[in-house]
Amino acid sequence: MTNKERIKVAIYGLGGVGKELVRDFNQREDIELVGVIARNPLQIGHDVGILSGLDNKTGITVTANQTKEQDLYETTKIDVLIHCAGANNAKGTFEQVRTALEHGINVITANVGTTDLWSSDPELASEIDVICKEHGVTYFGQGSSQVLEKAVIAMTEGSKEIESVSFMHHSDVHAYSEKSNRETLGIGLSEAEFDERKKAAETNSAELNSNIDSVKFIGDNLGFVIDDVKTKMSTYVNDSGIVFGTQETLIGYEQGKERIREDWVFILDPEKRYYDKIVIHGVPEVESVMNYSPDRGFCTTYATIRNSIPVVMKEKAGYLNSLTIPVCRWYGGDYRDIL
């Protein structure tokens, strides 16, 4: 048992992930929820416990974003802010949490685009890094889509030679709300609406939350000099013309030779399958399939964020690449004992 102060956490965005975090923190001795920021008038001013489906009130009411969030940062000690506020790109996400960083608060965001900005948007990475260092805080992205690469790299420990690596991330998204799937993935849109959105994103690369950072990360780690990456986005469409799944394929080449292949499938899978298949072509040949329960994507998103709290508090100040932060392991004890 520790007598240290509880870790003070606030949440930005009270949707599916945010509510799960509220329920989780409600049961913990070591974490104290001290604030929740949202934009929805139906949530502002109401108790976050009741809004999150708890039987009890938490005593914390929802703070209005923009108009009141600064007051919260100024009047309340917050060690970590968790940002899980809907679909956005890395730049927009940063703008939503900039004030928190400037108030000396560490931030973890669920935004998929905030994975390795040092590769995808070095200018933005550098801007965030300067602010973090000035205020002595740490910022990174975390979620179910940012944990696979570490497992792939770990699996090469026993390899003598490697020719190429490929994986398929097959994610059933039934556990997310319809709104979250539509806004974040385009699932639920008509094919025409999806194509329109894709075209808009192509003309504005800031809108893309692609997994392209992942190819570079694996290439760098394995010593492949990736000089070309080809990407293709395809859709699964039902008989009524509605998109119920997307597949992003990325292939990394070294002098014309395929070295890395990644398939990221997000789908309302009728069989609710959720798995990762990793293949390492080399000596020895490795083929591994990890099957998860269907709630994995949603569960792992809030779980990795929760498991990252000691890491964001302990790591050096700055903007950090999600793929190179330490493994944010599950820890069953009191987080204050490992800070």
Ligand X SMILES: NC(=O)c1ccc[n+]([C@@H]2O[C@H](COP(=O)([O-])OP(=O)(O)OC[C@H]3O[C@@H](n4cnc5c(N)ncnc54)[C@H](OP(=O)(O)O)[C@@H]3O)[C@@H](O)[C@H]2O)c1
Q: Which stretch binds ligand X (CB under 6 A): 46-54, 84-92, 124-132, 211-219?
A: 84-92
Q: Show the tokens assigned to 119.
A: 């590769």
Distance CA 81, CA 267 (A): 30
14 binds ligand X per the rule CB under 6 A: yes
35 binds ligand X per the rule CB under 6 A: no
The only residue of 6, 7, 15, 30 in contact with ligand X, by rule CB under 6 A:
15
Q: Is the dihedral of CA 75, 76, 77, 80 positive or negative?
A: negative
Q: How far is the CB of 86 from ligand X (least distance, A)?
A: 3
The only residue of 73, 94, 167, 176 in contact with ligand X, by rule CB under 6 A:
176
Q: Which stretch binds ligand X (CB under 6 A): 14-22, 125-133, 161-169, 227-235?
A: 14-22
The only residue of 8, 32, 40, 54 in contact with ligand X, by rule CB under 6 A:
40
Q: Helix, strand or coil for residue 34?
A: strand
Q: Which amino acid is at 265?
A: V
Residue 192, C-beta contacts closer than 8 angstroms, at least 6 positions apart: none
Q: Show the tokens assigned to 273.
A: 């399958």
Distance CA 21, CA 6 (A): 16
63 binds ligand X per the rule CB under 6 A: no
Q: How far is the CB of 110 from ligand X (least distance, A)?
A: 3
247 binds ligand X per the rule CB under 6 A: no
Q: Which of residues 96-115 bind ligand X (CB under 6 A)?
A: 96, 110-112
- Exposed, middle or buried, 17 (CB in 10 Å: 0-12/13-18/19+)? buried
179 binds ligand X per the rule CB under 6 A: yes
Residues touching ligand X, count (CB under 6 A): 29
180 binds ligand X per the rule CB under 6 A: yes
Q: Helix, strand or coil for residue 36?
A: strand
The CA–CA distances, whole Å, from 99 to 63, 81, 171, 181 equal 15, 11, 34, 28
CB-CB contact of 91 with 116 (8 Å): no
Closer residue to ligand X, CB minimum distance, 85 or 278: 85
Binding residues (CB under 6 A) for ligand X: these are 13-18, 37-40, 65, 84-87, 96, 110-112, 143-146, 176-177, 179-180, 184, 301
